[in-house]
Amino acid sequence: MTLARPLSRLHLAIIAAGVALLVAALLAAPAQHAHANPNPSDIRLQHTPTDPALLQGLRDQLGTVTFSQVLDSANRTARACSPAVTYRVASFCWDSGDSSVSYWMPQGITTTGDATANGQWEGRRALLSAWYDKDSGRNMGVRISIVDMANRSTPSYRHILLVEPRWTNGQPSFGAVNAHAGGIVWYGDKLYVNNTFSGIRVFDMNDLMRVSTGDNTRIGRQPDGSYHAHNYLYVLPQEARYTPSTTGGVERFRYSQTSLDRTTSPHSLLVSEYGNPGTDTRMARFNLNQSTNLIAADADGYARADWAYTVGIRGMQGATSVNGKFHIHRSNGSSTRGDVFIWRPGSFATQHTGAVPIGPEDVTYWPQYGEIWSQTEYPNLRYVYASRESSW
């Protein structure tokens, strides 16, 4: 009988290395086998419009302005910067005040590349960034930076305030939009804004309105008939909201991030969940009605997801898909660079450790440029940047 030879140190090292690589691959991969995928039809949204008379009352009181008018009134200029981003092709930084402010936190991102097939709105190319009021003491809600991308390194921009219409003493008024705004998508004339466990809010980009300025403490209709919005010159009132629910024993869905996929037919919204440790984080896809620009609904009024997957990635802050390839950004907190996962369903994800700056947030694809855009959130570490999609 021949006895087996003891394993040499070299053999043991090779085996150990192989085990380490396998463990790393398993940790990097979406947990497609460890956790069951939800039935997509059990993840639902129900559309509820704002009172049409209330919206019309605001239009009658304030009128509307065009998107180009807002762009042309830009009152801030971004700074050129070069963050360390794998395959970076473009970037800019906010002005010094917006880069350092502690109570406004940037989150969602979208562009005119989402809005239309040719990537323009009123003949302009623009980027939109959502910020939520973390702790200003004034409950300002959510603002949107409208950035003129004719200049991609030092663009001009202006902030506007999202508002929720309400009746006050029989008069049309509005208040703050209380949402985290972790993801936004501009599709046609609609702006979708994530509201975490409360679903998604919807705004009509044709309803941009100008209000009075001069007082950063007031919002809505005032006793003298004027309208204010914490000293912001423009507001965008909410047109509708999507209230979430689940059936079939599915855990409630966390609408943390949203991106648009124009490479599916029909076009679709991809929503994803933040979680820590995130072993059960999911993605879901909702088809869009390309005539109304709203989420496609069934006969009973519910919009149901058309695809869902348990990906199980910790700290997922944004995800977008292009021709079936998913780009997923993960935050590792306020002191460690973020990671990028590249994944196709049915296979393990490839993890690019430290590929993006500290604190990455929402992700969007700009098809006219072939670029993945994202931004970071922490004060004095804020960048807006693009990488070449085809390089990943």
User: Do the domain assignments include residue 181?
Assistant: yes
Q: Which two tokens stand for residue 212?
A: 């009075």
pLDDT tens profile 6-27: 444 434 343 344 433 333 333 4
User: Do the domain assignments include residue 158?
Assistant: yes
User: Do the domain assignments include residue 300?
Assistant: yes
Residue 203: φ, ψ to 5°: -130, 150
For residues 191 and 239, what is the distance between their CA atoms, to the nearest angstrom?
A: 10
Q: Which residues contact 339 (CB under 8 A, 6 or more apart)?
A: 329, 330, 332, 351, 352, 353, 354, 355, 356
Three-class secondary structure of residue 122 per DSSP: coil
Bridge partners of 204, per DSSP, are 190
For residues 165 and 171, what is the distance between their CA atoms, to the nearest angstrom?
A: 10
- Of 64, 60, 129, the C-alpha closest to 99 is 129
- Listed in sequence order, the DSSP H helices in the chain are 9-28, 52-62, 67-72, 96-100, 112-115
Q: Is 389 exposed, middle or buried (0-12, 13-18, 19+ CB in 10 A)?
A: buried
User: Do the domain assignments include residue 20?
Assistant: no
- Listed in sequence order, the DSSP H helices in 65-149 are 67-72, 96-100, 112-115
Total number of domains constituting the chain: 1
User: Do the domain assignments include residue 13?
Assistant: no
For residues 162 and 202, what is the distance between their CA atoms, to the nearest angstrom?
A: 10
Beta strand pairing status for 360-366 and 307-310?
unpaired
Domain that holds residue 285: 29-391
Three-class secondary structure of residue 14 per DSSP: helix
The secondary structure element, H or E, covering residue 60 is helix 52-62
Widest pairwise Cα distance in the chain = 102
CA distances from 239 to 25, 116, 255, 371 (A): 44, 20, 19, 30
- Contact between residue 242 and residue 304 where contact means Cβ atoms under 8 Å apart: no
CA 222 to chain centre: 33
User: Do the domain assignments include residue 77?
Assistant: yes
- Of 31, 28, 19, the C-alpha closest to 349 is 28
How many C-beta atoms lie closer than 10 Å to residue 296's C-beta? 18
For residues 319 and 341, what is the distance between their CA atoms, to the nearest angstrom?
A: 9
- Contact between residue 174 and residue 166 where contact means Cβ atoms under 8 Å apart: yes
Q: Which residues contact 9 (CB under 8 A, 6 or more apart)?
A: none
User: Do the domain assignments include residue 215?
Assistant: yes
The secondary structure element, H or E, covering residue 44 is strand 43-49
Q: Which two tokens stand for residue 53?
A: 């008379």
Q: Which two tokens stand for residue 335?
A: 């002191």
pLDDT value of position 35: 72
Torsion, Cα of 142, 208, 375, 104 (10° steps): -30
For residues 85 and 82, what is the distance between their CA atoms, to the nearest angstrom?
A: 8
Task: Flag residues of the chain having pLDDT under 50.
Answer: 1-28, 31-33
The residue whose two tokens read 């021709």 is: 323
Question: CATH number for the domain including 157?
Answer: 2.115.10
Residues, the chain: 392
Q: What share of the chain is helix, strand, coil (3-state, %, to 5)?
A: 15, 45, 45
User: Do the domain assignments include residue 189?
Assistant: yes
